[in-house]
Structure 1
Amino acid sequence: MELALLVLLMAMVIHFPRKSGPAIIKRESDDLPRIKATFNDDYQQEMILDTGASVTTITQNMAKTLKVKPVGEAVFTLADNKQVKMPLAEVESIEVGGAKVENVLVAIGNVPLLGQSFFGNHEVIIKRDVVEFRE
C-alpha cells in the first residue's frame, strides 16, 4: 500500500511539475535578459525583462494566439524618447518563476517585454543567471 502511494505521488510530481523557483535568464548576442513566461496557463513565450517598462508588451502574433481583444490605446515613451501609440488589452494570467498575476494589462507592440504591469507588486531580485519574483 505504501509503495503504491509513493508511486502515485511520484507520478503526480512528474505530470504536475512545480513552476516555482527562479526564472532562468537566457542572454543572446544583444545581452538582454530573456526569461520564459507562461500566459493563460499554457502558452509559453520568451520575454525580455524590462524594469523600465510600465506595461508588459506582447506582439501581434501573441495577441492573436492568446485571443486578446484591444480595449483601448495609450501613448508610451520609449527608451530613445520616441512616443508610440499602442493598443491595450488584458490577458488572463502571466506566470514566471512561480509568480502568477491575473488580469494583466498589456500593450500590443513589436517586442515581447515583461514590464511593471506583471511584476510591479513583487520584489524583483535580478542575479547573473536568474530572476526571482517575491510578493
Structure 2
Amino acid sequence: MMQKHSRFGATLLLLSGTLAFTTVAYNSYGDTSEKVLAAALDSSLNERPASTNQLVQRRERLEQRRNQQIFEVPIIGRQSGIPVVEVTFNNRRRFPMMVDTGASVTIITPQMANQIGFRKTGTTRVKVANGETIEVPVGRVSSIDVGGAVIEDFTVLVAGAPLLGQNFFSGYNVTMRQNMIVFRERRR
C-alpha cells in the first residue's frame, strides 16, 4: 500500500516500508494523478540514489517475474536428505515425490499409476543407481503440476520410488532452499 504526504511541491512516498523522496508535478488543483506519481517514482528509481536501493531491488525482481514464470514450491519433508514436494497428477491426485536432480526421467510407483490413469505406451530399459539395468513400463499422464508449473501429456516411468526427474524441470533453473524449491522458467 502506498501512502503520500505532500508539502512544498515534493512527495514523500512510503512503499512496502521503504521511504523514497521525489518531486512530483501538481495539476492546477494541487493534486497529483496516480500516473504522475507513478512516473515520478519510476524516474527516481532510474536515478538509483543510495537511499532507494531496496526499491530498486524490488522493482528489478518484479520485472524479472514479469518476464519469466517463477514457481515456489514448499518442501514438505526429506527422505534420506532428498527434498520431497507435493505433485498433482491430472488435476486431481496429489502425491509426495522426491526431487532428484540426478534422475533423467520422472518415476511413479505402480500404485500411483493405477490411481491417476497412467497410459502405458511401451517399456524401456533403464540403469538404476546400483548399476543394474531393468525393464520398466513407460507411458504418459494427462498433466503434472508442481506448485503451479504444469506440463501436459507428460512422460513417466513406472518403477520403485516416486521421483521428479529432469524431464520435468529441464525447462527451469532450479534453486533449492532450506524449506522451498524455486523453479524459474528458462528463457527460450
TM-score normalised by structure 2 residue count = 0.58
Match of 2:96 among 36, 39, 46: 46
Contact 1:97–1:133, Cα closer than 8 Å, also in 2: no
Counterpart residue number, 2:144: 94
Distance 1:28 1:75, change over 3 A: same
CA-based RMSD of the aligned residues comes to: 1.5
CA distance in 2, matches of 1:96, 1:70: 22
What amino acid sits opposite 2:159 in the alignment?
G
Structure 1 residue ranges, 4+ long, deviating more than 6 angstroms after superposition = none
Counterpart residue number, 1:70: 120
Contact 1:97–1:132, Cα closer than 8 Å, also in 2: no
Counterpart residue number, 2:109: 59
Deviations 1:33-90 (A, max 9, x none): 1000111111100001011111100111111111213101111112222212111010
Deviations 1:92-113 (A, max 9, x none): 1111122111111000011110
CA distance in 1, matches of 2:160, 2:143: 20
Contact 1:37–1:44, Cα closer than 8 Å, also in 2: yes
Report which of the two has the higher share of helix: 2
* Structure 1, gaps ≥5 residues long: 1-19
Contact 2:71–2:184, Cα closer than 8 Å, also in 1: no
Q: Percent identity?
A: 34
What amino acid sits opposite 2:96 in the alignment?
E
Task: State how many pairs are aligned.
Answer: 116
Q: Which has the larger radius of gyration?
A: 2
The answer to whether structure 1 residue 25 and structure 2 residue 62 are counterparts is no
Post-superposition offset of 1:119: 1.2
TM-score normalised by structure 1 residue count = 0.79
